[in-house]
Chain A
Amino acid sequence: MNKSYYLRSLAFLFPFILSAFVSLNVFAQDGEALYKANCTACHAINDKLIGPALKDMHKRHSEDWLIKWIRNSQAMVKAGDPVAVKLFNEYNKVAMPANNFSDDEIKAVIAYVKAESEKPEAAPAAGGAPGAGPVSQEKAPVGWYLVIALSVLLLLSSVLGKVKATLEKTLRQKEGLPEPPPMTSWQKTLHWARNNKKLIAVLLVTFTLWGSVKGWYALQSIGISQGYTPDQPIAYSHQLHAGELQIQCVYCHSGAEKGKVAGIPSANVCMNCHKYVRQGPTTGKEEIAKIYAALDYDPSTGVYGPNPKPIQWVRVHNLPDLAYFNHAQHVTVGKIDCQTCHGPVQDSMTVAGQYSPLTMAWCIDCHRKTEVKMEGNAYYADYHKALVEKHGHDYKITVNTIGGLECSRCHY
């Protein structure tokens, strides 16, 4: 009976024990979630943002004080708590919003911060070594294998040649044939060529054909910079920002909807996010620090210095002066996706590159195929009506039908 009683009571207690363990676990997770959802806009563990760095806050303040402070800091300031007033003044009198968290929830956050404080300062996730951006990563030197293979082959052929010569000599000595007159290497080559006329002809024709084709394409590509992917002063990744983080293209390239130039964002646009995001997943703090350096911004104090230096990006898309291109015409009026010309920027471009050839033939090709978005645009209303009247509803109104191939649309 005793035994069964213990067993039963154990069985009865089991869920409680289990739940105790489980609830302890949930408690810590809650702290992290709450912290990330509510605190990170203004706080970081190790860095001073709008509010102070939270590392070791449990050492600086008592838990009771922290709970009161986190719940309603303004009440404490009004009540004249000296520590609270000092903190408030120190951080430019920016009030931390009040909230309705329970004591347990706040304790969970404190516990999370405590746990994080004890961890060593986080190293960048990958490629953390200084200067090791994705740009400068070197690939295995394929060329060297080729060189080694080639030299092995050369060695082999020369050994075999020697062997052949020795065998011939031996044969001649054995059969008592006279030594052939000595030949210079040039004479030897000619001799070989006379004996291999067909091979020479084939080689010659192949080489000429190959050369012509290569040369033709080389000439065709003069002035075309398709694939041009220059190194940039900051290892900015479109893949990360536009792809993973899903930031709209026009958030940064805001001119694209308004006018001629899409525009490279000014550094203050970067700072909209990077005032808080100080560390990236790939390059850590290093690349983001270049924005700060350009603006002469001190992230620890949040003060802009007097010596900003402009960022000298390398221009990727270089249209000649003789061609006029307007982004707004294509983006706002034509409703063409950025990717149509700029390629899958969000998927594959860690460094921006020129996706399209940007030749006139390429422009014209598109103008021949692309239909004009006339419906719903009052600018075209009468024109559209007239065109439909003349050609019928099924008529495809492409850009070239409304004069999109005329010289002065792009050249003036």
Chain B
Amino acid sequence: MSNRYWKGVEELSNDAEFVRLKNNEFFEPLPIDEVVSNKASESTLTPRRDFLKFLGFSVAAASLASCEAPVTKSIPYLIKPEEITPGIANWYASSYFDGYDYCSVLVKTREGRPIKIEGNSLSSVTKGGVNARVQASVLSLYDNHRLKGPSINGGQVSWEQIDKEVSEKLNAIVSLGGKIRILSSTVISPSTLKLISEFSAKYPNTKHVMYDAVSVAGIRQANQESFGQNVLPTYNFDKADVIVSIGADFLVNWISPLEHSKQYAQTRKLNNGKKNMSRHIQFESSLSVTGSNADQRLAVKPSHQAAVAANLYNAVASLAGAAPIQAPATELQKEIQAVAKELWQSKGKSLVVCGVNHSAVQNVINSINSLLGSYGNTIDLDNPCKLRQGSDADLATLREEMNKGEVSALLVYNCNPVYTLADGDKFMNQLQKMELSLSFSEREDETSRACKYSCPDHHSLESWADAEPRAGSFSLGQPTIAPLFSTRQMQDSLLKWTGSSQTYYDYLVSYWNSNILNKAGKSWNNVLQDGVLELAPNTAKQYSSNANLGAAASMLGSLTGSGFEIMVYEKTGMGSGVMANNPWLQELPDPISKITWDNYLAVSPKDAREKGWRQGNVVSVTAGSVKMDLPVVIQPGQAFGSASVALGYGRSAAGKVADKVGVNVYPLMNSRDGFIMNYISGVDIQKSPADDHEFAATQTHHTLMGRAIVKETTLQEWQKNPNSGNKQLTYKKKIGTHEELDVKPSELELWDRHEDRGDLSNHHWGMGIDLNSCIGCGSCVIACTAENNVPVVGKDEVRRSREMHWMRIDRYYSSDFDPKPGEEKDIKKMEDPSDMPKVVFQPMLCQHCNNAPCETVCPVIATSHSSEGLNQMTYNRCVGTRYCANNCPYKVRRFNWFQYSDNTQFDYNMNNDLGKMVLNPDVVVRSRGVMEKCSMCVQRIQEGKLEAKKAGRKIKDGEVNTACAQSCPTNAIVFGDFKNPDSEVKKLWKPEERSYHVLEELNVKPNVYYLTKVRNSGNGNQA
């Protein structure tokens, strides 16, 4: 089987426009007129002479200006902190939790500024993994949209005044018997929970309500009913041989994605003699990142997920000899039977997870797992997960109280109900009428705007914190920078209002000393240094479900909806929308659609054909009382009769970056049996007369012209032949040269071999990328952006294919169509299987070719080769001919069209002093008119070499790591020194097995290699 890959439906259907664009990387003419005259509307032409005059003048002005160097001040510390050496980074262990993502992190600071976040490998929960959102949070610290101090009704006041007023009001409300409510997202800080309970004791009638924007309360409720434990279990994906997920995007969003992706990757690796990998089957409606990685993906409408669960139960039950339940009909009966058989064969080593937030469905899932013996093996109820504690029922009670007007005070902490509730407007009106409405939000948002009092919290990088993401696994967070603004930690505010004179730091230390440290026999400083403290875990016991399946089954029927359905989901970049005002995340292409700066209605190609929608059409969606206009994206893999759209967009008060980007689709969330569901049935969609929407997608640019750049095999084939799917190019014919006759084309080189060119070298750097472990999450892209000062260019420039990301993740869809000679243009045939494609992700970055085509064509030798195997780019030598980009077969070079720093046109982070604080001082900020590209993090290489030289020792493998490799949550990227025989990168290089170079026929000899993708096609049971 040879799969054919294409990069988007435009390529598939060979639109005339696409054909025109794909042949030109830079498909628009130079905007010299706009740049020079700055009056594009007035005249479109600048006479040549005028242009030369401008040119002459600017050359003269530039050289005059450069004659006199400005006086630079150098201001040392007055009293230098002992731990700071200017020019040397300090690392602090900390914890990140924003109510959605948890991560144990290491924060890199330079001269007191946090500039980069990496994972902390000491944590058994996140195991050194880190995702795009957590890494991008460092930029949110330097966001001008953060609140600069406390305010009442929008007017700046002092903390003393606000403390006085709030205390008075709270006391008045208590004396009148009014209700006080603290509304927050999940709080996993044990000390904060204790503090809130103390606050509640001081002000009786206080109740703490937790809710999650994207809720999993159904799982907790089901566990209560099945096992009498209102908890979320810890899932052990690493112990599972067969993984079945019904709509759970567990690799990037669901509950504890970093933990899951680390575990999942372990089961997918085929290195170091490991011969087996897990089998992953995904039932889902929208094409998620997790679904893209599945060995088998089955599309179902969102409301049919319940039916899949019920039928899967019946299939497993029939194998286990248990009684069946009443199950709604499903078209996938045959596939479900096969899946059940696979699960049953791996009894005790299988895992079924489900993303439907409803206790009835989750009870069925619990029963399946119970029959499969998953509890105590792949599911651990004895060390429960503490994330996503939000209760839909508590929230409903609060809303009820608010409707009755009983709530006098609402303190909103770390959540944004006005935005994330389906009826946010109603909530806002009620909030505004309250006696005391108070927001702790560190940045202005829809809710803080509606609150009378604003007591802004510190950013997490300025705060003390503790966290318990899993029972018995604790972590500490410490400030890595002094507060930038006059903000105060929420806990300090609560302490103040409870009349305590303690600071939260003292409170935290004493809490830890008496509750946590005494159990572990560790000191505060030890834990602070490590960032984590883990008590011995409880033994995971076996459980069997006591759920009332009959009752659950009777509810399932009502869950199965009819008509067109829309599901809302979270993107890997935006998540629930907490960090919407972060330009790095806005510009991170969606892993699947490769669209930036937008959300959209993703519909299946079949539905689009039937309804006559085209990409970019705007449609009017009516779902009950909710009406909204959404642009259409045609998304292969989307289940027929349904569409999906991402949360987190359409902000109205999040700041200059996020506002008016996309549409807020939280109103599509709806409550069913007390659970907040992420899909809605019976939706009416009509084409809107509005003009077509323009997307900024990175997907149809930089095409690789249909060449075999992704190699793929199946596990079963690979076990038989480790080289399967990785056929090397063989040339039977020999060709003659002027020097020696009879050379194989693969041995013929246009260039001198680099190793022969100069002397020997001490290192030869290289990288291996395992396509089998890459889940396409985009963590590496953000890591690269943060490390290398990659500018944000904005939607408009992305549309002109001028995105600056040094690395991208190519996503290829496949189809089983195998064109025979003469059939290549049979577009119709290629179209059919494309509706449900397989997906491959391929991180693409400068391949650091040893015979680099870019180096050959540079007229000024601005790009050259180093003796250590790096393709060097010297910005100050570059004159911007862009020949190199045109000659690069991988299309990984980026041209700076504008000066992105200090430019009002690019109003993101680089044009203000605050935003610039995130820049890495070891990497130059590139100027207009030069090429740039991946440098293999040469600053890190040089730093690692220097440390080794200073200490007089060899470089250890893994000591020098690129930002992308470091941040990869699945360790798909391996970086190292080929000259070190013990290095991982050297050991993984086995061309006789899975390693290959992309476009090896060009003989450019890259220093980056890939490992073939292997899919586990199962034991023949699958459909």
Contacts of B758 in A (CB 8 A): 401, 403
**Chain B 59-76 per-residue mask, 1 if CB under 8 angstroms from chain A, else 0:** 000010011010111111
Contacts of A225 in B (CB 8 A): 69
The reply to whether B85 and A259 contact each other, CB–CB distance below 8 Å, is: yes
The reply to whether A310 and B864 contact each other, CB–CB distance below 8 Å, is: no
Contacts of B923 in A (CB 8 A): 412
The reply to whether B71 and A409 contact each other, CB–CB distance below 8 Å, is: no
The reply to whether A412 and B85 contact each other, CB–CB distance below 8 Å, is: no
The reply to whether B87 and A261 contact each other, CB–CB distance below 8 Å, is: yes
Closest A residue to B953 using CB positions = A378
Contacts of A386 in B (CB 8 A): 760
**Chain A 380-412 per-residue mask, 1 if CB under 8 angstroms from chain B, else 0:** 111100110011000000000111001111011
Give complex CA distance A376, B760 in Å.
Answer: 20
Q: For chain A residues 107-132, which have a beta carbon within 8 Å of chain B? A: none
Given known pairs A401-B759, A412-B939, the reply for A266 and B76 (CB within 8 Å) is: yes
The reply to whether A268 and B78 contact each other, CB–CB distance below 8 Å, is: yes
- For residue B426, CB closer than 8 A to chain A, the reply is no
The reply to whether B76 and A379 contact each other, CB–CB distance below 8 Å, is: no
- For residue B872, CB closer than 8 A to chain A, the reply is yes
- For residue B796, CB closer than 8 A to chain A, the reply is no
The reply to whether B69 and A223 contact each other, CB–CB distance below 8 Å, is: yes
Closest B residue to A395 using CB positions = B759
Contacts of B950 in A (CB 8 A): 328, 332-333
The reply to whether B872 and A408 contact each other, CB–CB distance below 8 Å, is: yes
- For residue A15, CB closer than 8 A to chain B, the reply is no
- For residue B423, CB closer than 8 A to chain A, the reply is no
**Chain A 116-154 per-residue mask, 1 if CB under 8 angstroms from chain B, else 0:** 000000000000000000000000000000000000000
CB distance from A247 to the nearest CB of B (A): 17
The reply to whether B78 and A267 contact each other, CB–CB distance below 8 Å, is: yes
Most buried by A among B87, B758, B864: B87
Closest B residue to A218 using CB positions = B67
- For residue A377, CB closer than 8 A to chain B, the reply is yes
Closest B residue to A221 using CB positions = B67
- For residue B912, CB closer than 8 A to chain A, the reply is no
Stretch of A65-73, A98-106, A316-324, A339-347 contacting B (4+ beta carbons < 8 Å): A316-324
The reply to whether B79 and A268 contact each other, CB–CB distance below 8 Å, is: yes
Give complex CA distance A259, B85 in Å.
Answer: 8
Give complex CA distance A308, B877 in Å.
Answer: 44
Given known pairs A379-B948, A407-B872, A408-B870, the reply for A310 and B75 (CB within 8 Å) is: yes
The reply to whether B75 and A322 contact each other, CB–CB distance below 8 Å, is: no
Closest A residue to B926 using CB positions = A322
The reply to whether B760 and A267 contact each other, CB–CB distance below 8 Å, is: no
Closest B residue to A224 using CB positions = B69
The reply to whether A390 and B74 contact each other, CB–CB distance below 8 Å, is: no
- For residue B924, CB closer than 8 A to chain A, the reply is yes
- For residue B332, CB closer than 8 A to chain A, the reply is no
Contacts of A268 in B (CB 8 A): 77-80
Contacts of B875 in A (CB 8 A): 322, 411
Q: Among A222, A254, A390, which residue has its beta carbon within 8 angstroms of that of B67? A: A222
- For residue B330, CB closer than 8 A to chain A, the reply is no
Give complex CA distance A264, B154 in Å.
Answer: 44
Closest B residue to A261 using CB positions = B87
Contacts of B72 in A (CB 8 A): 314-315, 318
Closest B residue to A333 using CB positions = B949
CB distance from B417 to the nearest CB of A (A): 44
Contacts of A324 in B (CB 8 A): 922, 939, 942
- For residue B31, CB closer than 8 A to chain A, the reply is no
The reply to whether A223 and B938 contact each other, CB–CB distance below 8 Å, is: no
Contacts of B762 in A (CB 8 A): 380, 382-383, 402
Contacts of A322 in B (CB 8 A): 875-876, 924
- For residue A74, CB closer than 8 A to chain B, the reply is no
- For residue B856, CB closer than 8 A to chain A, the reply is no
The reply to whether B75 and A313 contact each other, CB–CB distance below 8 Å, is: yes
Q: For chain B residues 930-974, which have a beta carbon within 8 Å of chain A? A: 935, 938-939, 942, 945-946, 948-955
Closest B residue to A377 using CB positions = B952
Give complex CA distance A377, B955 in Å.
Answer: 12
- For residue A44, CB closer than 8 A to chain B, the reply is no
CB distance from B983 to the nearest CB of A (A): 14
Contacts of B153 in A (CB 8 A): none
Contacts of B67 in A (CB 8 A): 222-223
Closest A residue to B951 using CB positions = A379
The reply to whether A259 and B75 contact each other, CB–CB distance below 8 Å, is: no
Q: For chain B residues 714-771, which have a beta carbon within 8 Å of chain A? A: 758-762
Give complex CA distance A167, B261 in Å.
Answer: 110
Contacts of A294 in B (CB 8 A): 78
The reply to whether A255 and B78 contact each other, CB–CB distance below 8 Å, is: no
The reply to whether A390 and B954 contact each other, CB–CB distance below 8 Å, is: no
- For residue B816, CB closer than 8 A to chain A, the reply is no
Give complex CA distance A322, B924 in Å.
Answer: 6
Contacts of A259 in B (CB 8 A): 85-88
Closest A residue to B759 using CB positions = A401
Contacts of A223 in B (CB 8 A): 66-67, 69
Q: Among A308, A318, A332, which residue has its beta carbon within 8 angstroms of that of B69? A: A318
- For residue B529, CB closer than 8 A to chain A, the reply is no
CB distance from A321 to the nearest CB of B (A): 5
Contacts of A310 in B (CB 8 A): 75-78
Given known pairs A310-B75, A315-B73, A406-B867, the reply for A263 and B63 (CB within 8 Å) is: no
Q: Among A228, A314, A378, which residue has its beta carbon within 8 angstroms of that of B73? A: A314
- For residue B874, CB closer than 8 A to chain A, the reply is yes
Give complex CA distance A398, B998 in Å.
Answer: 37
Q: For chain A residues 249-274, which have a beta carbon within 8 Å of chain B? A: 254-255, 258-261, 263-269
- For residue A329, CB closer than 8 A to chain B, the reply is yes
Given known pairs A315-B73, A406-B872, A411-B876, the reply for A266 and B80 (CB within 8 Å) is: yes
- For residue A336, CB closer than 8 A to chain B, the reply is no
- For residue B513, CB closer than 8 A to chain A, the reply is no
Give complex CA distance A17, B222 in Å.
Answer: 113
CB distance from A217 to the nearest CB of B (A): 14
Q: Among B66, B77, B80, which residue has its beta carbon within 8 angstroms of that of A222? A: B66
**Chain B 179-223 per-residue mask, 1 if CB under 8 angstroms from chain A, else 0:** 000000000000000000000000000000000000000000000
The reply to whether A406 and B949 contact each other, CB–CB distance below 8 Å, is: no
The reply to whether B872 and A321 contact each other, CB–CB distance below 8 Å, is: no
Q: Among B86, B760, B874, B924, which residue has its beta carbon within 8 angstroms of that of A261? A: B86
Most buried by A among B876, B923, B945: B876
Q: For chain A residues 38-91, which have a beta carbon within 8 Å of chain B? A: none
Q: For chain B residues 610-633, which have a beta carbon within 8 Å of chain A? A: none
Give complex CA distance A380, B873 in Å.
Answer: 26
Give complex CA distance A376, B74 in Å.
Answer: 37
CB distance from B359 to the nearest CB of A (A): 55
- For residue B868, CB closer than 8 A to chain A, the reply is yes
Give complex CA distance A313, B76 in Å.
Answer: 8
CB distance from A26 to the nearest CB of B (A): 46
**Chain A 265-308 per-residue mask, 1 if CB under 8 angstroms from chain B, else 0:** 11111000000000000000000000000110000000000001
- For residue B555, CB closer than 8 A to chain A, the reply is no
The reply to whether B946 and A326 contact each other, CB–CB distance below 8 Å, is: yes
Q: Among B80, B88, B866, B922, which residue has its beta carbon within 8 angstroms of that of A406? A: B866
The list of the 6 closest CB pairs from A to B, nearest first, reads A260-B87, A261-B87, A266-B80, A315-B74, A408-B872, A266-B77
Complex A-B: 20 CB contacts under 8 Å: A222-B63, A225-B69, A260-B87, A261-B86, A266-B76, A266-B78, A268-B80, A312-B74, A314-B73, A324-B939, A328-B950, A333-B946, A333-B949, A376-B952, A379-B954, A387-B759, A403-B867, A408-B935, A408-B942, A411-B872
Given contacts A267-B78, A310-B75, 7 further A-B contacts (CB under 8 A): A266-B78, A310-B77, A315-B73, A333-B946, A379-B955, A409-B942, A412-B935
Binding site for A on B (CB under 8 A): 63, 66-67, 69, 71-80, 85-88, 758-762, 864, 866-868, 870, 872-877, 922-925, 935, 938-939, 942, 945-946, 948-955
